[in-house]
Amino acid sequence: MTRSHALTLAVGFVLGLVVLVSMGQTAVDRSPIVRVQYMPHPRDMVQIKQGTPYTVPAGRILVITGLGTGAHFTSGKDEVTLKINGVSEAMTASEVSCFNGDGVGSSMVTVPPGCSATAGSTVEVVEGGGQTSGRAWGYLADA
C-alpha cells in the first residue's frame, strides 16, 4: 500500500511540474497601446466648424475621421486644412463628391488612422479660397 501512495505522489509531482513549466512559457502582452474597442456613442461624436476652434476635454482623445466642407459647390476643388495647436496635421484637395438632387454637393474625405488630438489640444479647421465652410468630423475616446 505504501508503494502505491509513493507512486501516486511521484506522478502528481511530475504532472504539477509540467504544468508550472508550461505556464512559464506563456507570453504576456504588456504593450502600452491604447485600444478603443467600441463604436463611438452619438454623444461622443464631434463636428468642428471653421471659425470655431475646439478644445479637447480633459481625460479624452479626439480621433479625427473625416475632413471636408459643408458648403454646396457646383464645380471646382475644395481645400481644407486641419490644425492641431496651430500646426497643420492634415489637408484635403478633393473634388466635390457628394451630390444632392440639384447637382450641387459637398465633400468629405476620410483621414488616415492615427490622426488624433490629446486632452487640452486646440483643433481648428481652415478652408482655402476664401470659403468659410470647412469641417472636421471625429469622436471622443477615453484617454
Closest CA to 142 of 67, 57, 82, 84: 57
Q: What's phi and psi for 93, nearest 5 deg?
A: -150, 70
Q: What is the CATH number of the domain that holds 84?
A: 2.60.120.340
pLDDT tens digits, residue range 79-129?
A: 888 999 999 888 886 554 445 455 555 577 888 888 899 999 999 998 876
- Residue 3 covered by a domain: no
Tell me which H or E stretch contains 24. Answer: helix 2-24
pLDDT tens digits, residue range 18-36?
A: 887 777 766 666 666 666 5
Residue-level pLDDT at 96: 47
Predicted structure pTM score? 0.63
Which of the two residues, 66 and 95, has the higher pLDDT score? 66
Q: Using pLDDT thresholds of 50, 70 and 90, give the confidence band for residue 74.
A: very low
Look up the domain containing 122 and give its range.
42-142
Residue identified by cell 484637395 is 93
- Residue 64 covered by a domain: yes
Q: Say how far apart CA 57 and CA 122 lie, in whole Å.
A: 10
CB 118 within 8 A of CB 59: no
Residue identified by cell 475616446 is 141
Residue-level pLDDT at 31: 65
Residue-level pLDDT at 109: 81
Burial letters 73-86, b for 16+ CB under 10 A, else e: beeeebbbbbbbee
pLDDT tens digits, residue range 44-56?
A: 999 999 999 999 9
Q: Which long-range contacts (CB under 8 A, 24 or more apart) does 100-106 make?
A: 100/72, 103/74, 104/72, 104/73, 104/74, 105/72, 105/73, 106/68, 106/69, 106/70, 106/71, 106/72, 106/73, 106/78, 106/133
Q: How many domains does the chain have?
A: 1
The 8-class DSSP code of residue 44 comes to G
- Residue 85 covered by a domain: yes
- Residue 36 covered by a domain: no
- Residue 27 covered by a domain: no
